[in-house]
Structure 1
């Protein structure tokens, strides 16, 4: 384990063409997970009638969802390092199938939905933690950021589809409950088919690793994976720059999740708003879809320039400014500023997800990428829970503006901390 990169250099390396197929399977799993993640968010009225549950139930389930996300990080790190990429990928795909058992309308809604939310959010950490590790296993160091960005692209595309399509499939009027149930089953059937195809393809075709490593960095990382989990955690958490980065990422990710959770309600409840459920869902979908190009662009940019910290500060600043602009636009009597700000908002936040995973891996190399990624997303889950609950409490008092000022101030704190990070990029 004391070997250096120079000593390992004579080891034969090879880049395989099928690496793109392997990352494509990961992208398909991310797409399926993204579609399920917010599929109900754009249909608050229809979902309430279909499941016969009060808004309080949804609030509690969302809180449970983020809570399980927050506490499952270390468990997922341990499983990934024990069973490897292939089995972990299969576990992640099981999450997509499990979530579908909660889609039936019956009197056991709270029990079934709660159990499925609890388990699926644990599996969600696998979905988000695996891409950097799989990219590092199959791709050369000059392509890792681009490969990781492809999975973020797919995940965000799934989020966008789940916000955009349901309002067109589900009728605005829920007076015909039979029609509502039929259309809801259309959505569930499509997701079930996609999840099943993803599950089967991963079982049949996904490989643990290539016969030869793609780079000497991958060799060093594979040796480090043999360390006990507790030693690996001690190493990464003793890195002060990484600890600061965990908090900046968590604030950013928590703000994004919280805003996307309440954005439709904010748009509909804002002073003077005359927008319909469908339009509000389209605006939320725009925030999700506009972000799918950002990860690819910045992934290629990072592979070419290696300017991780400068890029991170720039994109974090974009997120801060766009959130401040959204705070003003959501109360505007003119509709177009809201569309513009949500486009910039989506690009900034989604791009930072990819940049964040890359910086976490760079700061902690040669420790496993899944360790650093799981840690940043676990604390991100904590901030998702905190920021969502605080925003809802403020909104319940009728202060939409106050909730958005809260998000802006949180991001300002995160941006200031980001400027203090100056660690070495080691990978």
Structure 2
């Protein structure tokens, strides 16, 4: 069942090892003559993960994108609805460290089963939250789904490193991130289609029930597929790095200490957090921003969110391919970040043009670079932190994102009410510009590429 054997150089594996991590002391270069195989089933594992990730992320924006309908039906405040999105960020921060530790010690299968079960459980709790006095139960279900997210966001670089060869790691990671973006896209697109903001109370009850049942059914099927087909690792390693790493016993707490003392990683932590935090703020309040200029465009708000994310999905895959071909991590990261600033400026000044088709076009540009940046940041982090576990590296990266996401979402929500959308969006442009400058200050210390060259 394996592809033709290949001689693999050291890939950027989550388990790339050196003597300082403990266990085996043999260097990857000594194994460079060995033949390694990659198995076709890796694509099945990746496909299941993509669907599983999307089943969780599609619920992130599920309430916020139909904020007006939720306020009307449940009688809750707008800020309460926005907290259904921000709960994803709040729960992630304290839980990512135990989740990363569990991933490091038990592997992909155990953490994926836990995350899938939680995603499914939370979705079913929402099914029973349709009565108008049961919003608290829906929020509880949303919280369970949000907690389950900690077992998902830091997996793509780990899964790519464990299952894929050195020439496919960046592309596989970008496809893994693609799953999260696919779910966000569905979260923007489906709720406005299913829930009629102008409907009667009875119609809204029916619409909410249908939406919750569809999501619960989808997550249930995926939970069964994960139990049956999702594996921790292939029968034999796909690269010298994965081979060596399998015998290493990494010290989780020492890894965290080294990461927090890595100047380039700290700078990337800040710049990555600013970029994705801005995306979270725009996504959470997109319905309110669009309805400011286009009062009847409830479905368009969801579609514009869809356009942003789908463009980003395309950008993610293209950027992953570029990284695999060129290995120009610093240059690619900086170029994509700077383009995000340009995209945000164009979005800001076309929002009030009165032609919603123009807003769709500017959203494509914004999404392509802003959300296309996600896997680029992951992979650049893997380069400057080699040989630390990639699950830990990406976990802390995502924790920073949640902190910035909460702060920027609350700031954006306050500014929209205080000074309007123009100055609010220009502030976000300024924040992205600061992030670009910080990115420029990151050294091109490509440790993983240096290890491959020595191999």
TM-score (norm 2): 0.88
Q: Name the structure 2 match of 1:150.
A: 175
Q: Name the structure 1 match of 2:145.
A: 120
In terms of mean alpha carbon deviation, does 134-143 or 95-104 score higher? Answer: 95-104
**2:267 matched to 1:244?**
yes
- Checking the alignment, whether the CA contact within 8 Å between 1:221 and 1:366 is kept in structure 2 is no
Give the 5 Å matches for 1:201-212.
201-212=225-236
Give the 5 Å matches for 1:152-231.
152-175=177-200, 177-224=201-248, 226-231=249-254
Unaligned runs of 5+ in 1: none
Match of 2:255 among 220, 226, 232: 232
1:42-73 Cα distance to aligned partner (Å, 9 max, x none): 31222223333222322444444322222222
Q: What displacement does 1:383 show?
A: 0.3
- Checking the alignment, whether the CA contact within 8 Å between 1:12 and 1:212 is kept in structure 2 is no
**2:336 matched to 1:312?**
no
Q: What displacement does 1:129 show?
A: 0.6
Query: Quick one: distance in 1 between partners of 2:388 and 2:133?
Result: 44
Query: Quick one: distance in 2 between partners of 1:27 and 1:47?
Result: 29
**2:299 matched to 1:278?**
yes
- Checking the alignment, whether the CA contact within 8 Å between 1:364 and 1:426 is kept in structure 2 is yes
Match of 1:29 among 44, 48, 52: 52
Query: Quick one: distance in 1 between partners of 2:133 and 2:139?
Result: 10
Q: Name the structure 1 match of 2:354.
A: 333
TM-score (norm 1): 0.94
In terms of mean alpha carbon deviation, does 102-111 or 65-74 score higher? Answer: 102-111
SS in 2 for 1:14: coil
- Checking the alignment, whether the CA contact within 8 Å between 1:130 and 1:370 is kept in structure 2 is yes
Query: Quick one: distance in 2 between partners of 1:327 and 1:115?
Result: 35
In terms of mean alpha carbon deviation, does 83-92 or 374-383 score higher? Answer: 83-92
Q: Name the structure 2 match of 1:98.
A: 121
Q: What displacement does 1:98 show?
A: 2.6
Relative to 1, partners in 2 of residues 1:401 and 1:223: Cα closer, same or farther, differing over 3 Å? farther
Q: Name the structure 2 match of 1:343.
A: 364
Q: What displacement does 1:380 show?
A: 0.3
Structure 1 segments of 4 or more deviating over 6 A?
none
- Checking the alignment, whether the CA contact within 8 Å between 1:157 and 1:288 is kept in structure 2 is yes
Q: What displacement does 1:147 show?
A: 0.9
Q: Name the structure 2 match of 1:130.
A: 155
- Checking the alignment, whether the CA contact within 8 Å between 1:36 and 1:96 is kept in structure 2 is no
SS in 2 for 1:36: coil
1:350-380 Cα distance to aligned partner (Å, 9 max, x none): 2111111111122212211100100110000
Query: Quick one: distance in 1 between partners of 2:208 and 2:384?
Result: 45
Q: What displacement does 1:114 show?
A: 4.2
